[in-house]
Amino acid sequence: MRRLLITVLLGAASAAPLAAQGSLSLQGFGYPTGQLSTRAAATAGALGETDPGSPINPGALPGSGRSIFSFQIDPEYRRVSINDRNVNTTTVRFPVISVGTRAGARGFFGVSFSTLLDRTWDASYADSVIVSGTRVGSRVATTVRGAINDARVAYAWQFNERIQAGAAFHAYSGANRINLSRTFDDTTTYGALSQNTTLSYAGSAVSVGVVARAVPHLFVAASARWGGVMRTRYDDSLATRANVPNRYGVSFTYDGIPGSTLIARINAEQWSRMRTLGSSDLEVKDATEIALGADIAGPKLRTATTQVRLGARTRTLPFGVNGKAVSERTLAIGGGTTFARGWATLDVSLQRNSRRSGSVTETGSILSVGLTVRP
């Protein structure tokens, strides 16, 4: 019975109808946030490999120039359309917090906390069961609150003006707090039933990265992450085990146009390494994303400089629905400005996501506001 309960809970979204859950993007173990800072999100992730505030490429850390502290808030508003029905949901995330400081003349040390997968949803549907020979109507509800988080410790070294590289250790942890309940229509005769369960996750990985100027005005950045074992525990007992997904990414940045930077990035993530962490019917797919972006100098506001950013991305989400992959297309816009005599930066971005799996569609708008302080 206990193994059956674990399997049902690990099956993630399969416990309730998609329309009730109200999201294509939160299937399986959750939505991959991309681990992007607000600045990188404004280019739809194109800046991810060269952005020191995004915990993706440890070789990008020296790009901040000096000590850095940054955090952000990302509320998302979603609408799912299925069989002429619309379901609206809202999720608020705090996806990236990072701290970094110089370590000598050429070294840089950084610590970050980010969300690898976010899984927060509610589902409910009408049902009936036979109690003492009588069929009784009821409503079954599932509430999930959780995420898998990435704590990264990184070190980078700037060899010269043309090349910098770094390495990092990642510790993954998190929990899914799941509540299964059944409330009977006849509340005077039958009491409500409730089951609370917490599934915890633990894993590790290492990553390396480099940022290099290949030729004048052209920078190449690349990074790789190799995942170790990830375990799921239920009531302090080992339930399942799998592996942290490997990830490989590369980007090309051109700054030959005065005041403008153009970026192209490709990223591949082997989510299928997580398959045995869930139930046997969990649909897990490797994902590839391609992003194009621009970072353009904006008008000056008195003494403050501004940036305008644009981007577009296409990718596949890791967890499918009814045998079909979930595709996502993103358009992004944003900008940033400095204040406090250049010691602080305020960035804002808006991502418009369009997701599809078969006849089911979902639109999502993610507003990100990030603050970076360079003391």
Q: What is the pLDDT of residues 262-288, one digit of tens each?
A: 999 999 999 999 988 877 777 888 999
Tokens of 204: 């590790």
| pLDDT given at position 5 | 40
pLDDT at 140 over 70: yes
| pLDDT given at position 11 | 41
Check: CB of residue 224 under 8 Å from CB of residue 245. Answer: no
| pLDDT given at position 267 | 97
| pLDDT given at position 6 | 40
| pLDDT given at position 339 | 85
Q: What mean pLDDT comes out for the span 191-210?
A: 88
Q: What mean pLDDT comes out for the span 16-40?
A: 77
| pLDDT given at position 16 | 41
| pLDDT given at position 29 | 86
Tokens of 156: 């980078």
Sign of the dihedral through C-alpha 270, 275, 277, 283: positive
Tokens of 145: 């609150």
| pLDDT given at position 22 | 56
pTM of the model: 0.85
Tokens of 66: 């000096």
Q: What mean pLDDT comes out for the span 30-55?
A: 94
**Distance between CA atoms of 49 and 60, rounded to whole angstroms?**
7
Q: What mean pLDDT comes out for the span 74-80?
A: 88
Question: Between these two residues, 238 and 108, which has the higher pLDDT value?
Answer: 108
Phi, psi of 109 (to 5 degrees): -115, 135
Nearest to 214 by CA among 250, 265, 248, 253: 253
Check: CB of residue 69 under 8 Å from CB of residue 7. Answer: no
User: What percent of the chain has pLDDT above 90?
Assistant: 53
| pLDDT given at position 14 | 39
Question: Between these two residues, 129 and 258, which has the higher pLDDT value?
Answer: 258
220-262 per-position pLDDT tens digit? 999 999 999 999 887 667 778 899 999 999 999 999 998 899 9
Whole-number mean pLDDT of the chain? 86
Query: How many alpha carbons lie under 13 Å from residue 256 in its C-beta half-sphere?
Result: 8
Question: Between these two residues, 267 and 191, which has the higher pLDDT value?
Answer: 267
Phi, psi of 6 (to 5 degrees): -60, -45
CA angle 87, 91, 94 (to 5 degrees): 165
Check: CB of residue 143 under 8 Å from CB of residue 26. Answer: no
| Bridge partners (DSSP) listed for residue 112 | 98, 152
pLDDT at 25 over 90: no
User: What percent of the chain has pLDDT above 70?
Assistant: 93
Tokens of 349: 């971005």
Query: Under DSSP, is residue 21 helix (H, G, I), strand (E, B) or coil?
Result: helix
56-76 per-position pLDDT tens digit? 999 999 987 778 899 999 999
Check: CB of residue 198 under 8 Å from CB of residue 179. Answer: no
pLDDT at 21 over 60: no
The band of 127, judged by pLDDT with boundaries at 50, 70 and 90, is confident
Query: Of the spans 114-123, 176-185, 215-224, 231-240, which averages the highest pLDDT?
Result: 215-224
Sign of the dihedral through C-alpha 50, 55, 57, 58: positive
| pLDDT given at position 180 | 83
Q: What mean pLDDT comes out for the span 350-373?
A: 92
Nearest to 176 by CA among 35, 1, 6, 342: 6
103, 375, 110, 33: CA torsion to nearest 10: -160
Q: What mean pLDDT comes out for the span 204-226?
A: 96
Q: What mean pLDDT comes out for the span 356-375?
A: 90
| Bridge partners (DSSP) listed for residue 169 | 153, 206
Question: Between these two residues, 121 and 10, which has the higher pLDDT value?
Answer: 121
Residue with tokens 């797919």: 285
Q: What mean pLDDT comes out for the span 328-351?
A: 92
| pLDDT given at position 80 | 82
